[in-house]
Structure 1
Amino acid sequence: MPESRPPFPPFDREGAAAKVQAAEDAWNTRDPHQVALAYTTDSIWRNRDEFIWGRAAIIEFLTAKWERELDYALRKSLWAYADNRIAVRFQYEWHDRGGQWFRSYGNELWEFDDDGLMRRREVSSNDVRINESGRRFFGPRTEAERGPGHDFPLH
């Protein structure tokens, strides 16, 4: 039985928004094995300056990421969608082992197979130092924060 992850392409606004929220929810678990299940076994990633191929490499990458980026809390926002592709903007906050907090800003381009698994992910992002007092995200989105009108600011 083939793996699948609804909703399936071609995406409408509701389906694309559901994919974005599902990705945010999964990434906020910080469980590399759970997150990797949303990708094809031969998924191709460009993440900043790294190139990653396949689920095993995704798990390795995410394990290292969340060992380095502590107390990670992510927000994603649908930017655009068409057919089997979705564009997303994101922000997440984390701190390093020395206690310095960061907010990472970026954009993602996603491409899905017919079974709703992501086969390609391209990410551009940067990190900005912030004071702990400037944090906005303190864990996964609450139910009250979901839905229209609860996007995040650009700065």
Structure 2
Amino acid sequence: MHNLLKQPSFVSDSSEKLPLGIRIQNVLIPLMKEGKRVTFTGHSTGGSLAVLFADRFYQLPNVKVKRVVTFGQPSCGGQLFYRNYSLHHKTYRICCDVDIVTFLPPLPFIYRHVGKSLWLHEGVMFENISPSKRLWLSIKSWLLRPITYHYMQKYIRNKSLFDER
């Protein structure tokens, strides 16, 4: 996942090939210098990238990160990343019902999620529910509808539940 920050990216009006992390940094740093606070957000792999970008930018001087909000995000770091992540108190990882992607990679003692977990399941929001209980409840539901819970429309439909937070 960390390698995605180093991937070359293109902009249609430029032939310049810069790493994705540098390109985003070039856009955000001037805004942050003006006093703007930035919210990083993303769905699925984009959620993991939002966590990585937020962590990277938060280490820079005079940077204000308002919050990090992810939807259906797989874990993006191990125990060391978890311990060193400075934005736990500003990170909200929203999981929807039985979205299998939120359990990836399936290496629970190697990869760790960061921030607060908000799990939307059958019309109820659970905060920081234990992974084993969430897995048990998810398996029961997953047998009925396995992949449909990962679609962004499912997160949007339940938006009112986390707007209150």
TM over 0.5: no
TM-score normalised by structure 1 residue count:
0.30
Higher fraction of strand: 1
